[in-house]
Amino acid sequence: MDILLKYFSDFTDKQMQQFAALEGLYKDWNEKINVISRKDIEGLYEKHVLHSLAIAAAFDFPKGIEIIDIGTGGGFPGIPLAIFFPEIKFHLVDSIGKKLKVVEAIADAIELKNVTTQHTRAEEIKNRKFDFAVSRAVAPLKDLLRWSKPLLKHSRFVIKSSEDEEEVYRSGLICLKGGDLAQEISESNARPKSIEINHLFDEEYFKEKYLLYVS
């Protein structure tokens, strides 16, 4: 929990309580349904919560928008982002129902009112549009783009960047990736904006981890 306060200082009391509750809830649920690898559960706040919040460090989303988390798994990055942005609606989607059971139970336990879930594949969602799609290493970039494109609105936003400069962003995909991404980016035929996470957070874990944004 302390690692979050190293980088973010303006949480409300409720947000502090919600973030603090995650460790016990995930440890308890992980005994029943394995949503986080056993070796990673002890590093929950660094490897899962803070990693998810890299998106919040880089993008100061405006209030009232809607974001879909594609392949949310155990709720990352969706749950930490929903705590961070209480006035944004998050729709967490996964094809594995038992993982969503964990997500729903945790959201309910911490009284997270801005989260909805759907047991489906992203490509099967019809008649819904979102301002942004987020995802964490669930599929190659070309697939994430194919799945997210039909789900995105054509919106434009002025968003403060991690350097506190205002930039115009269009609706798009923001994904957390790691390793050598040259081939994956080439195969996607996209030109993403790439942000090195170790420019945001200085822990060794974040070396060779990236945020990719494609409008």
Feature table: binding site for S-adenosyl-L-methionine: 71, 76, 122-123, 136
- Find the range with the poorest average confidence among 77-81, 131-135, 139-143, 158-162: 158-162
Question: Shortest CA distance to 66 belongs to which of 120, 158, 117, 129?
Answer: 129
Residue with tokens 């822990």: 203
Token pair, residue 184, equals 């994956």
Contact between residue 171 and residue 72 where contact means Cβ atoms under 8 Å apart: no
Quick one: how many helices (H) and strands (E) in the chain? 7, 9
- Residues with Cβ < 8 Å from 80, sequence gap 6 or more? 19, 22, 48, 49, 52, 53, 56
Chain centroid offset of residue 190 CA = 20
Please name the CATH architecture into which domain 2-214 falls. 3-Layer(aba) Sandwich (3.40)
The pLDDT assigned to 140 comes to 95
pLDDT tens figures, 82-110: 999 999 999 999 999 999 999 999 999 99
Write out pLDDT tens, residues 149-181.
999 999 888 877 666 678 888 999 999 999 999
Binding residues: 71, 76, 122-123, 136
Which of 127, 157, 193 minimizes the C-alpha distance to 63?
A: 157
Lowest average pLDDT, out of 21-35, 162-176, 200-214, goes to 162-176
Strands 172-178 and 115-119: unpaired
**183 pLDDT band (50/70/90 cuts)?**
very high
Q: Look at residue 166 in the predicted model and tell me its pLDDT.
A: 81
- Phi/psi at 59 (5° precision): -130, 115
Residues of the chain with pLDDT > 90, as a percent, come to: 85
pLDDT attached to residue 28: 93
- Global pTM reads 0.95
**How confident is the model over 124-134, as a mean pLDDT?**
95
